Amino acid sequence: MEEKKANNNTDHRMLQIVVFKLGNEEYGLHIDQIKEVVITPVITKMPQTPDYLKGVANIRGNVIAIFDLEERFGLIKNASTESAHKYTLVVESEDVKLGLLVNEVPNTISVNRSDLDESVGIINDTNTESNYIRGIIRSGDRLIILIDIFKVIDQEMTQSTRKTASVAA
């Protein structure tokens, strides 16, 4: 009986998720991956970079790369918001710091761990080696796609390294 109680407690732990829209869908990042949300600064375009890498920007004295995840994921943009990326989510790890463009102010929600369905491994981007979708969160009538932004970045770095190596060979 004690063992069952312990399992129930782990199922009901809360997750703090930052939710934002990409295309017509809601996406989320674990709050630990977000450093801050800022109004999108002036972006300086960089030559010979993928379309989804919009350039670099100065945010609080740090020059960081600015990503457009709608383009990276191949999502259809709303006509009214296509060029209206008003906010930037600054994400940071020990290895990388970058900005993600979003159209609306993201909101933070708390969800039970049991509301996260991690069995979506079959829904995988076949062009990548690892799955960056951590699961789907059910919150009332909403379905929120939880992603691990650092896995997305790792994939980009791996693909860039391979392209550079194949050009050099």
Domain ranges of the chain: 14-168
Q: Which fold has domain 14-168?
A: OB fold (Dihydrolipoamide Acetyltransferase, E2P) (2.40.50)
**What band does 167 get if pLDDT is binned at 50, 70 and 90?**
very low
pTM over 0.75: yes
Tens of pLDDT, residue by residue over 55-95, are 999 999 999 999 999 998 888 766 555 556 789 999 988 88
Look at residue 143 and give its three-state secondary structure. Answer: strand
* CB 100, CB 43: distance < 8 Å: no
Look at residue 94 and give its three-state secondary structure. Answer: coil
Look at residue 41 and give its three-state secondary structure. Answer: coil
